[in-house]
């Protein structure tokens, strides 16, 4: 397909091309793109977060489709809003683009952004556009809202609370290991990548979805987490954040950590330990939260939520009980340094 060099367009034409498909869908978006600043209106508490994604540091364009990258840039921010038990409503998007980029490439990236906006029901209300000398740079800021009494911080976990996790863990990390292996093979030996049969772990890495559904589910069950965090760095270090801020200990059980069978298979193929990948891999964007013990019977019946352990007194430490009944102290790097 013919590519339109960005040098043929002025800055304003480019911004117009990026923003022309916006249709505001939230009443809280009073004024979106087109003025000096966006105007938002809320009765609730406002929740806001931002993330920077830099080429070569956070993503590799040799194997990342731009459309997926646009989707992921929105998802990782929406995930932080969801982790506060808040509802995401707006995003701002700033991009720095270098000379390699054509209008068609930006459009592909924006397709992913708009797809995510539709999925999460958020409005793109502003941003900034610049040229870059250091690769593709993306910064997304997300805005959301919640009633004060619904907000969940990291510091509210109490002794005897249940530790719960959504979905499954470790797949995003193994997706990345697979992509890196295939890239290295291609660069060294010219072997064409073979990614067939690995759709799930690749999608978990390239196109993660934020768990905005969990707030609705918990509300329906009339449950409010005592503490919550999204799993971006890995179960181990994110659980430690909850324990540190709540001044508690914890016990989790290795055999309760949810891991998809395709994740197990890839771990085996790459000679990695699947539990280690789930504990330390990161980028799963699932939610990790604690609930009062009374929620046990209700939560047990939810297929999307897994009970993996409980909160203890801080004196008891932060422990993983292994399948062979060993007690292993959780560390930010997990209990077994990454192999491979």
For residue 2, the minimal CB distance to Mg ion (Å) is 28
18 binds, among Mg ion, ligand ADP, none (CB under 5 to 8 A by kind): ligand ADP
- Which residue, 127 or 234, has its beta carbon nearer to ligand ADP? 127
> Inter-axis angle of helices 261-269 and 171-189, to 10 degrees?
40
- Which residue, 128 or 294, has its beta carbon nearer to Mg ion? 128
- Which residue, 104 or 128, has its beta carbon nearer to Mg ion? 128
Helix and strand numbers, DSSP H then E, in the chain: 10, 13
Separation CA 82–CA 72 (nearest Å): 15
Looking at 11-19, 153-161, 189-197, 308-316, which segment touches ligand ADP (CB under 6 A)?
11-19
Cβ-proximal residue to Mg ion, closest one:
128
Residue 112 touching ligand ADP (CB under 6 A): no
- Which residue, 139 or 205, has its beta carbon nearer to ligand ADP? 139
Given candidates 60, 128, 199, 269, which one binds Mg ion under the rule CB under 5 A?
A: 128
Separation CA 156–CA 256 (nearest Å): 23
In residues, how long is the chain? 340
Residues 71-110: x/- map of binding to ligand ADP (CB under 6 A)? Answer: ----------------------x-x---------------
Cite the beta strand spans of 17-146 per DSSP E. Answer: 29-31, 39-40, 45-54, 87-97, 123-131, 137-146
The count of chain residues that interact with ligand ADP, using the rule CB under 6 A, is 14
Inter-CA distances, 59 with 53, 55, 207, 224, 284, Å: 7, 5, 12, 35, 15
For residue 75, the minimal CB distance to Mg ion (Å) is 24
111 with 70: CB under 8 angstroms? yes
Ramachandran category for residue 325: left, alpha or beta (phi over 0 → left; psi -120 to 50 → alpha): left
Residue 169 touching ligand ADP (CB under 6 A): no
Residue 11 touching Mg ion (CB under 5 A): no
Separation of CA 141 from chain center: 14
Given candidates 88, 96, 112, 127, which one binds ligand ADP under the rule CB under 6 A?
A: 127
The count of chain residues that interact with Mg ion, using the rule CB under 5 A, is 1
Residue 36 touching ligand ADP (CB under 6 A): yes
Separation CA 88–CA 331 (nearest Å): 32
Largest CA distance in the chain: 65
Looking at 14-22, 155-163, 204-212, 274-282, which segment touches ligand ADP (CB under 6 A)?
14-22
Closest by alpha carbon to 122, among 228, 204, 32? 32
Residue 199 touching Mg ion (CB under 5 A): no
DSSP class of residue 56 equals T
Residues that bind ligand ADP (CB under 6 A): 15, 18-19, 33-36, 93, 95, 124, 126-129
Residues that bind Mg ion (CB under 5 A): 128
């Amino acid at each position: 397909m013919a590519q339109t060099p960005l040098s043929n367009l002025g800055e304003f034409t480019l911004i117009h091309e990026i923003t022309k498909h916006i249709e505001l869908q939230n009443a809280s978006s009073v004024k979106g793109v087109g003025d000096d600043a966006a105007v938002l209106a809320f009765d609730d508490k406002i929740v806001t977060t931002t993330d920077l994604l830099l080429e070569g540091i956070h993503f590799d364009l040799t194997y990342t489709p731009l459309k997926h990258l646009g989707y992921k840039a929105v998802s990782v921010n929406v995930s932080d809003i969801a982790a506060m038990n808040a509802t995401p409503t707006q995003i701002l998007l700033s991009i720095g683009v270098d000379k390699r980029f054509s209008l068609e490439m930006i459009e592909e990236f924006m397709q992913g952004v708009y797809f995510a906006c539709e999925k999460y029901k958020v409005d793109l209300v502003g941003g900034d556009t610049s040229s870059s000398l250091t690769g593709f740079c993306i910064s997304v800021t997300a805005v959301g809202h919640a009633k004060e009494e619904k907000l969940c911080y990291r510091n509210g976990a109490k002794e005897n609370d249940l530790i719960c996790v959504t979905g499954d863990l470790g797949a995003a990390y193994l997706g990345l290991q697979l992509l890196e292996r295939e890239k290295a093979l291609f660069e060294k030996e010219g072997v064409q990548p073979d990614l067939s049969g690995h759709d799930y772990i690749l999608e978990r890495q390239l196109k993660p979805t934020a768990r905005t559904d969990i707030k609705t589910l918990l509300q329906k069950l009339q449950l409010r987490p005592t503490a919550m965090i999204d799993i971006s760095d890995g179960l181990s270090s994110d659980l430690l954040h909850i324990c540190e801020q709540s001044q508690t200990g914890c016990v989790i059980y290795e055999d309760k950590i949810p891991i998809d069978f395709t994740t197990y298979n890839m771990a085996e193929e790459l000679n990695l330990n699947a539990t280690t990948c789930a504990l330390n891999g990161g980028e799963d964007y699932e939610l990790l939260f604690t609930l009062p013990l009374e929620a046990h019977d209700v939560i047990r019946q939810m297929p999307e939520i897994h009970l993996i352990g409980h909160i203890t007194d801080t004196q008891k430490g932060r422990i993983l009980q292994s399948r062979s009944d060993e007690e292993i102290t959780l560390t930010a790097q997990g209990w077994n340094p990454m192999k491979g």
